[in-house]
Amino acid sequence: MRHWIRALLLGGLALATTGCMEGWLDKWLAASVDPQTGTLHVEGLAAPVTIGRDALGIPLVEAESFEDLAFATGWVMAEDRLSQMVGFTMAAQGRLAEMAGEVALPMDLYSRTLGLRRISEQQLAAGSDELTFLLQRFSDGVNAWLVAHEDRMPLDFRLGSFRPEPWAPINSVDVFTMINLGLGVNLHEEIMALNLADRVGTDRLPWLVPVYPDEPLSFAEAAKLNDLPLPALAKQAQALDAARDGFERLLMPQGLAASNNWVVAPSHSTTGHSLLANDTHLLISQPPMWMLLHQKTPGIQVAGVAAAGMPVPVIGFNGNVAWGATMVMADAQDLFLEQLRDIDGQLHYLADGEWLPVTEREEVFKVQGGDTVTHTVRSTRHGPLLESVLNAPPISPVVPPRLADSMARYGLAFSWTASQADTTMDAMFALGRSQSLAEAREHIRGVRFIHLNMVMADQDAAGWQVTGRYPQRKQGTGQFPSPGWDGVYDWTGFADFDQHPNDFTLEKGFVGTANHRTVAADYPLLLSRSWFYPQRGDRINQLLSAKAKHSAEDMVAMQADRFDRFVPALQAVLSDNSVALATAINALPSARQAPARQALAMLDNFDGVMLEDSAAAALYGVFFHLAARNIFLDELGPEDGPVWQSFTRMTLLSYSAPQDHLLQREDSPFWDNAGTPETETKWDIFAQTLADAWAFNTQALGDDPAQWAWGDLHTYEWKTAASQMKPWLPRVQRWAISAMEGYLNRGPYPAGGNHNTLNVAGAMIGRDFDVHSIPAMRMVVDFAADEPLQLVNSGGQSGNPASPHYDDGIDVWLGWGNRTLPFSEAGRAAHYAQRLTLTPSEAPAATP
């Protein structure tokens, strides 16, 4: 779970003085780890349920009815990920401060201003009675586990005063809402645009937010921001970004470009049956975002990837149909600039020439160990005014400063397609019961709440479908904030589902997605202007086009692929401009010329494979990092300032200016270093960066280039939320968390790959080399195999650090092990060797 801030203080202070903290903690928490064999009597079941566990603790839940299956799944998820479940729902409700104290208050205000719980309520109300019943049975199972473990809670709840409340169907919908928020991308770019426009002006803003290599820069879109009070708006944007950043560190990544998937048609498979592969990309965390789940009743068997708090897999395989998902990068969020005025003590906003009163609601926040705080959330016709977040009282170091009243002439209103209720949860749950691709396609039409590239297959056919709800705008693209007072940029409705891109003919024999632009630039439906880098998508097409027939082993090899297609493109740029670059190198101080030439020679000969032990990969990675700094830091710095922090964060989320400039943009104004009297060209900056990269590696990795290794700079580290938040906390709390990090965190481990490789290992370009985004799971389905499903998670099944399954999945993930989850009766019996039986009881739930 991602919230242990105040709770860990007491434990850290008490245990840091001992020399055997980890062993003591394991003994103290031993009772919180349930036995995996035997029999338990549990009130609420109609018939016995069997919970099998494999060597990594992955559960198989077998029940005689769907009702009991949902109940037992609730029990299992509470056992494995209670803290994570509670964190999701408390974040959606805006109640993290009740658990973590004042440090979480700005994140609560962010959540309530966005109205996350209200969105969950709408979704639950729109769902079917069957959905509500399923969620209620799941809730009953969670609550049965809570009763049985009242005195044996996990570490999070032992150290703090907060106790989890009974689970209810709305809490599961909260998890779904949080996933939707995590898949939203454009809000963050619009915030960054205000920061950048204030710093460099609207005329140079488009150079910093390119759409794609083959698309023109967005000068017309940026002109919307002309003649606006950019300094005031930038201060609002910076304060908003601070609140969002804290929210993300506590719980949920937002806007992180997520995933690869592809399907191969039977005609292009070596076996004559379909192949499907999916690896979702999320922030590296402890515990991981996903948990694995296998369920079986007499009528249903399904296994796959589940989110803690939702009763069925959201990605997986059911014996007949497989499905996987990536993030579309949809622009389903818009910021509208509102003109505000105080009239007779009431805040108003300008709408088509008329001043209208904002709508208001009071939100009350309870803070652990502190006072109750009341705050007013205001909204316009375009949605909530984010000034509700910005004007929060300054309680803790991560709370943004209160904005002066003079800055309130303009506000930022947030429009989001999630505010429209629908039956997406029903459709997603029905998808897992599909018996054919045709049936799955019908179910997927109902998925409007969440924007996904869904790939689906049965043994005889496969295809791709874009889901979601896409706003139709009167004018503009929505890439940057829009004036809201005259209605010119308002939404007029949403695109019909039949306009969504799809491919079920598979004329090429395959289709794949990787958060890249999957349609032509002039496609009539505007999906986004915030695509991820094209290299992963290009690599999928390259590898699947390389031969006529593919096997499951090819799918696994593709998921492990660490070739960066940007390398040959960069080498072509270096070669095509060799004369200009040589002239620039010759102009360097004499001591820097030889290192620059050595660096150039190593890059020229680099094969592009980002292996962790590669010296050339280390040089290339450092060159990329320093190029971003040499091109942009002089005008966007300082490096610890909000503008640079926002700019570098966005390099992890979508196609970025650093990569765009390396490949093209010779006429960009940012090549000239603002800190020197000379006028630098692109090749001057290239020459400087080559010399700088060689010097950096020599200092960081040693004088012998043969010993350089990318993985010595670029590392994986599984961290809890407490560690993520540590820099923002008071000194004593930082010390306490540091004392426990060896028990809670795992790593560092050397990492290969980068943001462009299929085996992604994304870092914030220009900031550091720390890996943030990884394949959070890997799935391959081979419909011709006796056991079609291979599935691996990025960490342990359990969120309890005392469990042996807290971290045992990490080594499997690092070693590229592939694990089959068997569907046959004999295979299940052998694989899920540990068996626990839950039997009905009229007595109170038994203690394990």
Tell whether the model's pLDDT for residue 407 goes beyond 50: no
* CA separation for the pair 110, 105 (Å, rounded): 9
User: Residue 310 in 3-state DSSP?
Assistant: coil
User: Residue 602 in 3-state DSSP?
Assistant: helix
CA-CA-CA-CA torsion for 435, 438, 442, 445, nearest 10 degrees?
A: 120
Tokens of 68: 């009991």
Secondary structure tally for the chain: helices H, strands E: 29, 30
Handedness of CA 315, 319, 321, 322 (dihedral sign): positive
With a CB cutoff of 8 Å and minimum separation 6, the contacts of 620 are 564, 567, 603, 606, 610
Buried b (16+ CB within 10 A) or exposed e, 342-366: eeeeebbbbbeeeeeebeeeebebe
Side-chain-side CA neighbours of residue 108 (13 Å): 30
To the nearest whole percent, how much of the chain has pLDDT over 90? Answer: 76
Tell whether the model's pLDDT for residue 32 goes beyond 90: no
Say which amino acid occupies 735.
W
pLDDT band at 21 (very low <50, low <70, confident <90, very high): low
Q: Which of 337-341, 640-644, 844-848 has the highest mean pLDDT?
A: 337-341
Say which amino acid occupies 344.
D
- How high does pLDDT run on average in the chain? 90
* CA separation for the pair 509, 267 (Å, rounded): 7
pLDDT at 768: 95
CB 175, CB 82: distance < 8 Å: no
| Residue 190, annotated as binding a ligand | yes
Tokens of 23: 């062993």
Among 680, 106, 167, 184, which residue's Cα sits nearest to residue 401?
106
CB 281, CB 774: distance < 8 Å: yes
What residues are annotated to the active site? Answer: 259
The residue-averaged pLDDT of 380-395 equals: 72
CA 805 to chain centre: 23
For residue 446, what are the CA distances in angstroms to 274, 423, 426, 450?
24, 7, 8, 10
| Residue 334, annotated as binding a ligand | yes
* CA separation for the pair 31, 25 (Å, rounded): 11
Tokens of 269: 């498979």
Q: In the beta sheet, which residues pair with residue 148?
A: none
Q: What is the pLDDT of residues 812-836, one digit of tens each?
A: 999 998 899 999 999 999 999 999 9
Tell whether the model's pLDDT for residue 312 goes beyond 70: yes
The residue-averaged pLDDT of 274-282 equals: 96
pLDDT band at 173 (very low <50, low <70, confident <90, very high): very high
CB 759, CB 260: distance < 8 Å: no
pLDDT band at 403 (very low <50, low <70, confident <90, very high): very low
The residue-averaged pLDDT of 606-623 equals: 98
CB 97, CB 399: distance < 8 Å: no
pLDDT at 389: 65
Query: Which is it for strands 38-42 and 834-840: parallel, antiparallel or unpaired?
Result: parallel
Q: Which residue is listed with tokens 């006072």?
A: 371
pLDDT band at 160 (very low <50, low <70, confident <90, very high): low
DSSP sequence for 57-72? --EEEE-SSHHHHHHH
pLDDT at 151: 79
Q: What is the pLDDT of residues 528-548, one digit of tens each?
A: 999 999 999 999 999 999 999
Q: What is the largest CA-CA distance in the chain?
A: 86
* CA separation for the pair 290, 304 (Å, rounded): 10
CB 410, CB 259: distance < 8 Å: no
How many residues in total does the chain contain?
848
pLDDT at 740: 81
* CA separation for the pair 1, 806 (Å, rounded): 12
Look at 31-40, 499-508, 751-760 and tell me which has the smallest mean pLDDT. Answer: 31-40
Tell whether the model's pLDDT for residue 808 goes beyond 60: yes
Q: Which residue is listed with tokens 């694990």?
A: 819
Q: In the beta sheet, which residues pair with residue 840?
A: 42
Tell whether the model's pLDDT for residue 17 goes beyond 70: no
| Residue 62, annotated as binding a ligand | no
The pTM assigned to this predicted structure is 0.94
Look at 196-200, 387-391, 441-445 and tell me which has the smallest mean pLDDT. Answer: 387-391
Q: Where are the beta strands (DSSP E) in 381-538?
A: 383-384, 410-416, 452-457, 462-466, 471-473, 482-483, 491-494, 502-503, 510-513
Among 192, 221, 223, 224, which residue's Cα sits nearest to residue 208?
192
* CA separation for the pair 64, 646 (Å, rounded): 52
The residue-averaged pLDDT of 625-640 equals: 97
pLDDT band at 19 (very low <50, low <70, confident <90, very high): very low
Tokens of 507: 């004329």
Q: Which residue is listed with tokens 């904030």?
A: 481
**Helix 642-650 × helix 615-636 angle, to 10°:** 140
* CA separation for the pair 129, 93 (Å, rounded): 23
Q: What is the pLDDT of residues 228-242, one digit of tens each?
A: 888 888 887 877 777
The residue-averaged pLDDT of 676-701 equals: 97
pLDDT at 240: 75
**Helix 590-604 × helix 682-701 angle, to 10°:** 90
Tell whether the model's pLDDT for residue 12 goes beyond 70: no
Handedness of CA 468, 472, 473, 479 (dihedral sign): positive
Q: What is the pLDDT of residues 463-501, one digit of tens each?
A: 999 999 999 999 999 999 999 999 999 999 999 999 999
Query: Domains of the chain: which residue ranges?
Result: 566-607+613-713
The residue-averaged pLDDT of 620-644 equals: 96
Residue 556 exposed, middle or buried by CB count within 10 Å (0-12, 13-18, 19+): middle
Residue 31 exposed, middle or buried by CB count within 10 Å (0-12, 13-18, 19+): middle
For residue 648, what are the CA distances in angstroms to 493, 517, 587, 629?
34, 22, 30, 10
Which helix (H) or strand (E) segment is 662 a member of?
helix 657-663
Q: In the beta sheet, which residues pair with residue 61?
A: 51, 295
Side-chain-side CA neighbours of residue 600 (13 Å): 23
Q: Where are the beta strands (DSSP E) in 367-497?
A: 372-380, 383-384, 410-416, 452-457, 462-466, 471-473, 482-483, 491-494
Tell whether the model's pLDDT for residue 4 goes beyond 50: no
Tokens of 442: 């019908």
CB 660, CB 573: distance < 8 Å: no
Q: Which residue is listed with tokens 């300054």?
A: 394
Q: What is the pLDDT of residues 208-229, one digit of tens each?
A: 999 999 999 999 999 999 988 8
* 342 vs 845, more confident: 342
